[in-house]
Amino acid sequence: MRCPFCGNDDTQVKDSRPTDDNSAIRRRRFCAACGSRFTTFERVQLRELTVVKKNGKRVPFDRDKLARSIQIACRKRPVDAERIEQMVNGIVRRLESQGEPEIASDKVGEQVMEALYSLDPVAYVRFASVYKNFHEVKDFEDLVDRLNVDARD
């Protein structure tokens, strides 16, 4: 691991332990060249995933992009950052465990919609408005009507 302060490639691990939710390994590192200490978080990746966009373009799956989109949908909502992290971890695990190296962007979007639906209805509507590319107020009304029907059931 390269030192973020001096760029030296020869750093030493001084401590290694799992994070509280066991989704990553936290490593305390030391750089002998400059004497700096820093922390890295390493995640287990079951397989390399490629997202196939609607236009056919293939891009590497980006966990951080997924997390950012969920955070934007949850902005100014009573949702803990830890809960968002758990949601992202769950979605990534489900996608990796499907066994396919290529995943349609629709599948990723549906996973996020499903997770947000049970987490926060406002975040769900926010995400849906971008994901489903709403153009009119009627699109929002239809989605909210479906939410209301589901809430009554």
Q: Residues 2-50: pLDDT tens digits? A: 999 999 999 999 999 988 877 789 999 999 999 999 999 887 666 789 9
* 33, two tokens: 């060249």
At residue 132 the predicted structure's pLDDT band, cuts being 50, 70 and 90, is confident
What 8-state DSSP symbol labels residue 2?
-
Asked whether residue 6 is domain-assigned, the answer is: no
- Residue-wise pLDDT tens digits, 87-128: 999 999 899 888 889 999 999 999 999 999 989 989 998 998
Whether residues 68 and 87 fall in one domain:
yes
Angle subtended by helix axes 121-131 and 63-74, to nearest 10: 120
- Residue 151 pLDDT exceeds 70: no
Rounded distance, CA 98 to CA 121, Å?
27
What is the extent of the structural domain holding 23?
Answer: 11-42
From 39, 41, 19, select the one nearest 29 (Cα to Cα).
Answer: 39
Whether residues 36 and 68 fall in one domain:
no
Residue 153: the pLDDT is 61
Residue 104: the pLDDT is 95
Sheet holding 11-18, edge to edge: 11-18, 25-31, 37-42
* Whole-number Cα distances in Å, 3 to 35, 51, 113: 10, 31, 39
Do 67 and 89 form a contact (C-beta atoms < 8 A)?
no
Query: In the predicted model, what is the mean pLDDT of residues 41-62?
Result: 87
Q: Cα angle vertex 72, ends 56, 78, to 5°?
A: 140
Residue 5: the pLDDT is 94
Q: In this structure, which amino acid lies at residue 58?
A: R
Sheet holding 58-60, edge to edge: 58-60, 50-52, 102-104
Instruction: Count structural domains, the chain.
Output: 2
Residue 97: the pLDDT is 86
Whether residues 69 and 28 fall in one domain:
no
Helix (H, G, I), strand (E, B) or coil at 41: strand
Residue 70: the pLDDT is 96
Whether residues 148 and 87 fall in one domain:
yes
- Residue 135 pLDDT exceeds 90: no
